[in-house]
């Protein structure tokens, strides 16, 4: 069924591309529903400029209309997706997909520009593969720190020079618009562990135990990373089976649903970009469990730059060891009690790293218009 659905989507694309070859158009590829939020503000900005958007997805759950008249086109994950990318003809393809050209998704000779937007605030040289961005033509960086890191990676890897623009983070723009005021639910904990290529993530090794302990005294929402839905599928099934009947437990698998972020009192995580987004949008405390460092580029130290996530963690996070999980309820209570309003400090941190969210999508669209002459 999925094959025939993706084949139908590919034929839809062929008809559109042949019918209106002179139309001002930008193509977007989303790996799934959980990535849609990263494009929403950019799509709105493209619409305001009367630029047509073709939105392609590999997820059957990602087929609802976007912005009234933009209907996603399903291309699946198999042979049809490979065919689609190989034969793609467009002026610009915008994606959050890393390692373009390093796996089955290859660049098309008939697509003039491939542009990348980040779906995280983390630095570019530690949690991403060494060659993750090599084959892109344009990169929209969240701040100066990513631009410096990407340029350094080009020097170290000897990769091609890309056009790198500091535009801010459109997802922060999206979150700010969704912000819910005075929405705290007492004793409601958000647990959002990161993912790892290894099968020994915090979720895999300590997730079940952590949730069990929290539920003795509090409510907890587990918000797994989109990649964890794949990498830790069996563990998540066990957790869901065990705790689904507990009214104080919520499994928030749909990253499109961001209410749990605002309804929580505190975030528990290990590393990654979630903590930066959470602290900036909610101004609430973060507890880090010092399990394992997330390193997907073993040569990251050659860049010679500290990562923004490590700097943020040292400055704003409370870091505990895994053997302290047994005392987590007491640690949470004390952290919430001691936590002071750090609005100004967080603002200063983001400003110093030149991370913006206001009008970031408009900046991206202006650059697109200039670069590909739309």
Name the residue ranges covered by the structural domains of the chain. 2-175+356-372, 181-352
Domain formed by 181-352, architecture: 3-Layer(aba) Sandwich (3.40)
Assign 122 a pLDDT band (cuts: 50, 70, 90): very high
Is the confidence at residue 250, as pLDDT, over 90?
A: yes
Question: Does 2-175+356-372 match 181-352 in CATH topology?
Answer: yes
Residue 23 pLDDT: 65
In CATH terms, the fold of domain 2-175+356-372 is Rossmann fold (3.40.50)
Residue 18 pLDDT: 82
Residue 22 pLDDT: 55
Residue 365 pLDDT: 96
137-176 b/e (C-beta count within 10 Å ≥ 16 → b): bbbbbbbebbbbbbebbbeeeebeebebbbbbbbbbbbbe
Residue 294 pLDDT: 85
Which residues, in sequence order, are CB contacts of 20 under 8 Å at separation 6+? 52
- Mean of the pLDDT values across residues 250-258? 86
Is the confidence at residue 256, as pLDDT, over 80?
A: no
């Amino acid at each position: 069924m999925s094959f025939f659905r993706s084949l139908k989507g590919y034929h839809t694309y062929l008809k559109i591309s042949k019918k209106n070859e002179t139309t001002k158009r930008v193509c977007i590829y989303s790996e799934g529903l959980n990535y849609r939020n990263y494009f929403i503000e950019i799509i709105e900005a493209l619409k305001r400029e009367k630029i047509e958007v073709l939105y392609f997805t590999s997820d059957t759950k990602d087929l609802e209309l976007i912005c009234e008249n933009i209907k996603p086109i399903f291309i699946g994950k198999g042979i049809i997706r490979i065919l689609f990318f190989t034969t793609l003809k467009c002026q610009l393809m915008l994606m959050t997909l890393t390692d373009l050209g390093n796996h089955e998704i290859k660049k098309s000779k008939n697509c003039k520009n491939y542009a990348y937007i980040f779906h995280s605030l983390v630095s570019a040289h530690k949690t991403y593969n060494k060659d993750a961005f090599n084959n892109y033509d344009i990169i929209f960086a969240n701040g100066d720190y990513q631009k410096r890191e990407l340029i350094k990676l080009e020097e170290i890897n000897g990769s091609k020079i890309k056009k790198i623009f500091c535009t801010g983070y459109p997802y922060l723009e999206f979150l700010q618009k969704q912000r819910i005021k005075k929405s705290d639910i007492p004793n409601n904990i958000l647990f959002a562990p990161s993912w790892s290529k290894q099968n020994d993530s915090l979720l895999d090794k300590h997730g079940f135990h952590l949730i069990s302990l929290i539920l003795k005294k509090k409510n907890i929402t587990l918000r797994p990373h989109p990649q964890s839905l794949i990498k830790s599928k069996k563990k998540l099934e066990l957790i869901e089976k065990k705790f689904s009947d507990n009214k104080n437990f919520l499994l928030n698998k749909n990253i499109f649903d961001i209410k749990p972020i605002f309804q929580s009192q505190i975030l528990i995580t290990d590393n990654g970009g979630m903590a930066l987004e959470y602290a900036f949008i909610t101004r609430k405390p973060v507890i880090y469990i010092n399990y394992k460092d997330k390193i997907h580029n073993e040569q990251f130290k050659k860049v010679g730059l500290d990562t923004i996530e490590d700097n943020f963690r040292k400055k704003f996070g409370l870091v505990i060891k895994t053997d302290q999980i047994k005392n987590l309820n007491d640690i949470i209570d004390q952290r919430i009690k001691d936590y002071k309003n750090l609005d100004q400090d967080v603002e200063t941190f983001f400003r110093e790293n030149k991370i913006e969210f206001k009008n970031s999508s408009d900046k991206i669209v202006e650059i697109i218009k200039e670069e590909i002459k739309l």
